[in-house]
Each structure stands twice: as C-alpha cells, then as structure tokens.
Chains A and B, each alone.
Chain A
Amino acid sequence: MSSGSVTEAALLEQLSALADGEVDPADTAVACARWRDDGRVRASWHAYHLIGDVLRSEDLAIEPSRDVAFLAAVRDRLSKEAVVLAPVPKAERGFRDAGEARPNDAGARTGRRWPWVVSSAVAAGFVGVVGTFTLTRPSAPVPAEAQALASAGSPTLVASRTDTAPTAVAASTPAPARSLALDVSGVVRDPALDTYLAAHKQFAGSTALGVPSAFLRSATVRNYGR
C-alpha cells in the first residue's frame, strides 16, 4: 500500500461507498488516484458495478474481457481529447436584449441543454445568437453600413430564442456586428420575410431535442461591445 495509512480493505470499502455516491470529495480524490495506479482497485470497481447491473438485470451479465477491451478503446480515444476543465461560468437568465447578450454565454447555455447538438461548436469557441432581430431592406434612415449590407442582398440574419429552445437560424452568412446593433423597434418589416420567419420559428422549437436538422445552424455574431 503505497499511499500510507489506508489499508487495502479500508480503501476498497471506500471504493464501494464511492460506487454509491456516499463519500466526501477528499475520499473521492484518493480513490481516483488509486484507480490510476492499482489494477486491483480497477478490477474491484468493475466487479462492484457488474454485480449491481446483474442484480438489476441478468442480461447485463457481460463477459468482463469485453468490458476491458471497451475501456481500453475509450481510454485510447480520451488520450486524444483535450482535457476537460470546468467550472463553467454561471449563465445569467433573461439576457434577451441583444445589446446585453454575451456571445460566449449564449454558446454555453445552448451547449448545456443540447450538448450533442453543439458540443463541437462550443469546444471550438463558437457562439450562439441571442435575441430576435430582423434586418431587411430599410426604407427608413438606418446606419449607412447596415444599408449597404442589406442592399447587397446577403445578410438576412434571423435569430430566435425562447425559454425552452435557444436556436439560431442563419439564412445567410452572419452579418458583421455593427449592422446588427439595430433596435428591433426600428426595423421596417417585410411581409415576405415575416412569413419566412414564422415558418422557421416552428422548426426552432421542434428540432431542438432531436437530431440536428438542416434548419439548425450555429450562427456567429461578433458584436463585442460595438
């Protein structure tokens, strides 16, 4: 026993309690450290969980060599992953105003609820879009830049967000931030665009929990403080 005072039986009892989530963080750290060094600890941890699985359902009585091979494969892939380091900053609720939205938080929130949809995007530092804004060909005075972009025909950027389904739909390449700093109330609405938006809002809710659909896009908006 290299780590001193703890006897093997005491260590394994701790491991058994950890399997049930009944140990404090310090003991967890000890058990994890021993897992790294001690084949017997690993074999016991496996045996305890196998026993639990078999007691609940006999079709989980799987030959251990398969489990060993499975862990080896996962371990091999984990070694190629970046090491996870949390804690994640707490996301504030209710930052719906586009002006307050912080792109990184938006990305984190999206990932928290649908990590399989956006996990890679989050990992790559992608950001989501918060707020609802429409940008269309203006007939009222708007900043010159936005007007130029609108007349270029490309930037129809739509982002919708509800409490339950933060989803960004980008109809084209994201527009630069400055053009997006439009107050929603100041936008002239285009009936055709409204129809388009209404149609796509339906998808925003329905696909969020399913497989990523063709309608789901990560949109990047760079409006850091401008």
Chain B
Amino acid sequence: MTSADADAALIERVKLGDVKAFEMLVVKYQRRIERLIGRMVRDVDLVPDIAQETFIRAYRAIPQFRGESAFYTWLYRIAVNTAKKALMELKRDPLITETARASRDDDDETSRVENELSDGETPDAVLASKQIAAAVNLAIEALSDELRQAITLREIEGLSYEEIAEMMDCPIGTVRSRIFRAREAIAQRLRPLLGTRLDERW
C-alpha cells in the first residue's frame, strides 16, 4: 500500500481544476475499487457502473478531502457507501438499471441462479488475467537483485524512497532510477499482452 500522502501532488492538481490529474487517480485505483465493489454486489454487470459512480462522487467531493487519511481510504468509504446505496435502490426497484434488466432477459429461475453464481468473467478474460500475472512474476524473477529489491520494497512493503535508500545504502536518486528501470523492464514483458495498439487506445 502506498504511503498516506503519495497522492497529495495529484490531488492538489485536481483541486486546481486539472481534470487529467483525476483521470490519473482513476487509472491508479480503478482495479482495487472494482474488486471491492465486486465483493459487495453480486450482479457483476453493475460493478463498473457503481465504480464509475464512486469516482464521480469522489470528484465532486474532492474539495472537501483534506488529506487527513490516505486518499484510497477516503475513496474506499465512498465506494462502500455507493455500493450500499445501489443495493438498496435495487431492492426497491429491481429493474432500475439496464444491466439488471438485461440479466433478466431469460427470466426463468435457473438462468438467474447461474447468473449469480458465475463470477462474470469470460474464459478469455480469465486467461488474460493469468497471463498478465505470470508475465509480471517472470519479469520480476528476471530482474537483477538491485532492481528487484527496489521495486519489492516500494510496491509490496510500501516504503518511501528515503527508507529504501537507507536500506539499500544508496542515494535517493538511485532508488528512483532503479524502481523506474524495474517497472520498465516488467512493462516490456507485459506489452505483448497489453496489446500492440494500446498506446493509441489510452
């Protein structure tokens, strides 16, 4: 987990009216937020909608975010409340969303149950996920010790550059460079999986 103020610079940009900085935060946290909501809401079709709503609410409320907690903690609470609200609305009016309506098309109970039991992921998506995880792990193993240690201390242990510099007994600039080179090396291995045209799609 990142340190509490890791997002402070981007949040300041958002508060200055820079919407792109908020998009960067969306890209950073969208997977975690979707997973969180996916654990609360069984209708997988609703998950992206609720996650989007979460980010929109966060955007509206960001002037009130004062950095007393980590941004993700704050976002997490918004996601939980947004999901709860969506579930309550769904109970009141089960046909409230297009996705809910779509999932009821074959409205016999069997297909409904199957729908709820599935985790909503197509075999292709599951395969893609496994390939990505495998590529990251392979890439990590292929790194030099220095790069692997730097990226591990940062991403898994959540240490700051200063702390890593102390542990690895090197200047902060070196830490920064090692983490960057580790990320680029892993990203190189991922690129074939991320799609040839991904730069354009982003």
Which residues of chain A have C-beta atoms less than 8 A from B9's C-beta?
Answer: 18, 21, 23-25, 28
Closest residue of chain A to B136 (Cβ to Cβ) is: A54
Instruction: Tell me if B61 counts as interface (CB < 8 A to partner A).
Output: yes
Contact between chains at A73 and B48 (CB < 8 Å): yes
Closest residue of chain A to B139 (Cβ to Cβ) is: A51
Which residues of chain B have C-beta atoms less than 8 A from A60's C-beta?
Answer: 31-32, 35
- Secondary structure of the A contact surface, majority rule: helix
User: Which of A46, A49, A84, A210 meets B15, CB within 8 Å?
Assistant: A84
> Could you give, for residues 24-37 of chain A, a 1 whenever the CB lies within 8 Å of some chain B CB and a 0 otherwise?
11001100110110
User: Which of B28, B60, B61, B194 meets A19, CB within 8 Å?
Assistant: B28
- Which of B7, B63, B85, B199 has the most A CB atoms < 10 Å from its CB? B63
Q: A21-B2, A21-B6 are in contact. Are A51 and B183 (CB under 8 A)?
A: yes
Q: A20-B2, A21-B2, A22-B160 are in contact. List 14 more A-B contacts (CB 8 A).
A: A16-B179, A20-B160, A21-B5, A32-B20, A43-B199, A53-B32, A54-B132, A65-B201, A68-B198, A71-B30, A78-B56, A81-B56, A115-B60, A120-B60
> Could you give, for residues 161-202 of chain B, a 1 whenever the CB lies within 8 Å of some chain A CB and a 0 otherwise?
100000000000000110110011011001101110011111
Which residues of chain B have C-beta atoms less than 8 A from A59's C-beta?
Answer: 35, 129
Instruction: Tell me if A216 counts as interface (CB < 8 A to partner B).
Output: no
Compute how far the CA of A54 lies from the CA of B23 in the bound complex, rounded to whole angstroms: 20
Contact between chains at B48 and A17 (CB < 8 Å): no
- Which of A32, A47, A51, A68 has the most B CB atoms < 10 Å from its CB? A51
Compute how far the CA of A77 lies from the CA of B48 in the bound complex, rounded to whole angstroms: 13
Question: Chain A: interface residue count, which band?
Answer: 35 or more
Q: A19-B28, A63-B129 are in contact. Are A55 and B48 (CB under 8 A)?
A: no
Instruction: Tell me if B12 counts as interface (CB < 8 A to partner A).
Output: yes
Instruction: Tell me if B95 counts as interface (CB < 8 A to partner A).
Output: no
Instruction: Tell me if B81 counts as interface (CB < 8 A to partner A).
Output: yes
Which residues of chain A have C-beta atoms less than 8 A from B81's C-beta?
Answer: 116, 210-211
User: Which of A29, A54, A77 meets B13, CB within 8 Å?
Assistant: A29
Within 8 A of A (CB), among B119-162: 125, 128-130, 132-133, 136, 140, 151-152, 154-156, 160-161
Closest residue of chain A to B200 (Cβ to Cβ) is: A39
Q: A16-B183, A35-B20, A78-B56 are in contact. Are A43 and B31 (CB under 8 A)?
A: no
Which residues of chain B have C-beta atoms less than 8 A from A67's C-beta?
Answer: 27, 30-31
Q: A22-B161, A46-B202 are in contact. Are A119 and B187 (CB under 8 A)?
A: no
Which residues of chain B have C-beta atoms less than 8 A from A18's C-beta?
Answer: 9-10
Chain A's nearest CB lies how many Å from the CB of B192? 12
Chain B's nearest CB lies how many Å from the CB of A170? 22
Q: A16-B176, A47-B194 are in contact. Are A74 and B23 (CB under 8 A)?
A: yes
Compute how far the CA of A75 lies from the CA of B7 in the bound complex, rounded to whole angstroms: 19
Which residues of chain B have C-beta atoms less than 8 A from A32's C-beta?
Answer: 10, 13, 18, 20-21, 24
Which residues of chain B have C-beta atoms less than 8 A from A52's C-beta?
Answer: 155
